[in-house]
Amino acid sequence: MIKVSQEAKVKLGHLMAEEGFDSQKDFVRVGVKSGGCSGLSYDLNFDQTRVEEDKVFEDNGIQLIVDKKSFLYLLGTTLEYSGGLNGKGFVFNNPNAQRTCGCGESFSL
């Protein structure tokens, strides 16, 4: 399961509306790809379709889809949002990450 904090829910809702997506029926696609200073980096996009292999979750009113490969890396992760002058934007609090880079956008197991 992947969780979405209240702050992330609000920001995702605003961003989805700005980009023409409907937070009631469209998805937030969360994934992991190779790259970044720690070896793996997070990927966050909006999507209107899912494939059969996708895992689907709903938390805090946001529908999330995760591809089969990324699911194992993201299990137990909470997506948070930190705004303001010192905010980092979207932050993945991933209990599986053994090491993260300074910006928090990449990790390793």
Instruction: Find all residues with CB under 8 Å of 14, minimum gap 6, and list them.
Output: none
Expressed in angstroms, the distance from the first to the final Cα of the chain is 18
| Res 94: pLDDT | 87
Question: What are the pLDDT digits (tens) for 34-74?
Answer: 766 657 888 999 999 999 999 999 999 999 999 999 998 89
Write the CA distances from 108 to 39, 44, 45, 67, 82, integer angstroms: 6, 18, 21, 18, 22
Band (pLDDT 50/70/90 cuts) for residue 100 is: low
Would the pLDDT of 104 be above 60? no
Band (pLDDT 50/70/90 cuts) for residue 80 is: very high
Would the pLDDT of 18 be above 70? yes
| Res 42: pLDDT | 85
Distance CA 37, CA 86 (A): 22
